[in-house]
Amino acid sequence: MKKKIFPIILFFLLFSTLSVNSQSINQKKKENPTSDKAKLNENRMQSNKTNTDSQGNSLLRCFVLVGIPAGTVIYGLTAWDWGKKKEWQWGNENWFAQNTDSGGADKAGHAFAHYLIMRTSYGILDYTEKNGFDKWFYSVLMASLIGVGIEVGDALSGKYGFSYEDIVVDFAGIGMGILLESFPVLDSFVGFSAEYWPSRGFRNYKKRSMYNFAGDYSGWKFMANFKLAGLEYIGLNVPGFLRYIMFDAGYYTKNFTKYDNYIGKTDKKRHWVYGISINLSEVVSDFYSNKKSTLCRLSKQPFNYYHIPIGYSHNSVIE
């Protein structure tokens, strides 16, 4: 509201000055008759622009602070049976062991999901918030509350239970996001990404819900990426093609889910995966003359988190 009335206040101030100092102002107007009008118009345009920007920032802020948590609740009610039971249930999920529900793939998924939430919300809030503390506070708090909220929902699902292991890996993912946002040099070298392609069991499962793709663990791979583009970031004079290369190391499981059992897959396997791939984020940046532009940064973001397996990888079964 203050920004809207600012041009009006400015007009009355100018009018008062004109009345008190008419002789002096008249002389100035003879020299430059449009100066006051131009100044008033410029201030009005600036005020309107600021007001429009403020409204846009409010919408983005609402999307992050309200939309993401609300979307998580809707997804949990739809896909994870939240609220089916009124009795609180604790879970003991035994980390990445062979005899767990998903071989630990859900733990890697929890870490990645909260890393993704923290970094994407921070990226948006970095744009909307003028105060540096606010963007950190809101992004970290929201990602943390979502992690705790998911476990509360699981505790009342009658199936999963409140898992302290999930909380630990949630905060590990958030911590990694904080670390990489805090140190751009480290961020230029290190990434955390995921691959997903629906498994055959998930595609053929008759009672499947498309919402529950997150539980299709045989279709997911989670990996850390070491990006040679960082060498250029720190100013080393290296061949240009190196910035397109990433070394990957990750973890995934096969045949732990009901989708796998549906098509007769019961040989549960845990896997390491490692290899070399193309850093598509760097490829995308080559399409822009101004690599620091907002559009360039936005275009690169999906490839910072979703890994497209263009390259070579080797899979090793964990005994």
Q: Is the pLDDT of residue 239 over 50?
A: yes
Contact of 277 with 309, CB cutoff 8 Å: yes
Q: For position 272, what pLDDT does the model report?
A: 95
Domain containing 4 equals 1-63
For residue range 179-210, list pLDDT tens digits in order.
Answer: 999 999 999 999 999 999 999 999 888 776 66
Q: For position 190, what pLDDT does the model report?
A: 96
Q: For position 109, what pLDDT does the model report?
A: 93
Span 260-276, average pLDDT: 92
Choose one of 63, 80, 100: the last residue of a domain: 63
Query: How many structural domains does the chain have?
Result: 2
Which strand (E) or helix (H) includes residue 163?
Answer: strand 162-163
Q: For position 2, what pLDDT does the model report?
A: 38
For residue range 75-91, list pLDDT tens digits in order.
Answer: 788 777 787 777 888 87
What residue type is assigned to position 297 of the chain? R
Choose one of 39, 63, 87: the last residue of a domain: 63
What integer best gives the mean pLDDT of the chain? 81
Are 1 and 30 in a shared domain?
yes
What's the whole-model pTM score? 0.78
Contact of 179 with 136, CB cutoff 8 Å: no
Choose one of 63, 86, 105: the last residue of a domain: 63
Are 16 and 130 in a shared domain?
no
For residue range 144-170, list pLDDT tens digits in order.
Answer: 999 998 888 888 887 788 888 999 999
CA distances from 78 to 67, 71, 82, 153 (A): 16, 11, 8, 12
